[in-house]
Copies of this chain bind each other. A is one copy, B any other.
Amino acid sequence: MSLSFLLDNPDMLVRWLDLFGIAVFAASGALTASRKQMDVVGFMLVAAVTGIGGGSVRDLLLGRSPVFWIHDPVYLILCFAIALLVFFAAPLLESRFRALLWADAVGLAAFSVIGTETALEMGVPGSVAILMGVITASFGGLIRDVLTAEVPLILRREIYASAAAAGAVVIVALQAADVSELVRGAVGFFLTFTIRALGLVFHLSLPSYRPRPGRDPDADKDGS
């Protein structure tokens, strides 16, 4: 398929981006499983949860029942295949870790667009659509981290969920301005990807909350 064919068929483009995002997130789940030295079933379980977890939470909250992968085997089989590939070829992938981070940025951008548009199609308010973009893009990774006892994604310093949020906000704003789905999707995609890419290259992070000087940040720690 040529790129111009895909641009003439945005549904197919979205489909391929969706599968690409699932494959990339499944790979990140499988790599986590490799760090935790799991067995092959653990690889498959963590890969599946990471690949389809975000979209599943989105569908459950929106009342899209059953979730998107129940009646189409391609999603799970893709996750399982990636898990097996990583299990038997992880050293190869590990040496391509930087490449995977870039692929992950493409997946993040794709999921932010797909999650936001899926919600908008159901006529929900803009704030809800934005949250659905962020959830679709980040909850697979969050569930992965919880199940494997890793430091949760949102506690890490690098820009990640914020990049997805920026894309989702722009899509909602452009939809309100009657911009076509293809154009707003493209803008949201490249905005999320660019912000995440800048974070990767320059190790950028948004300004985080800092306690006022002279205060002990841990003083209230056992208060709640």
Contacts and interface: CB of A to CB of B under 8 A. Distances in A.
A49 to B, nearest CB: 9
Contacts of A72: 125
Contact of A125 (B31, B39, B71): B71
Contacts of A134: 41, 45
Interface residues of A, number: 76
**Copies of this chain, how many?**
3
Given A209-B33, A221-B35, A224-B97, A128 B76 contact: yes
Contacts of A80: 127
Interface stretch (A110-118, A147-155, A182-190): A147-155
A102 to B, nearest CB: 12
A211 B146 contact: no
Interface of A: 28, 31-46, 48, 56, 60-63, 65-67, 69-73, 76-77, 80, 87, 90-91, 94, 97, 101, 124-128, 131, 134, 138, 142, 146-149, 151-152, 154-155, 159, 161-162, 165, 205-212, 215, 217-218, 220-221, 223-224
29 contacts: A32-B224, A35-B220, A35-B221, A37-B211, A38-B154, A38-B155, A39-B205, A40-B162, A41-B161, A41-B162, A41-B206, A42-B154, A42-B161, A45-B134, A48-B131, A61-B67, A63-B70, A71-B124, A76-B125, A80-B127, A90-B209, A91-B212, A91-B215, A94-B220, A101-B223, A101-B224, A146-B152, A147-B152, A148-B155
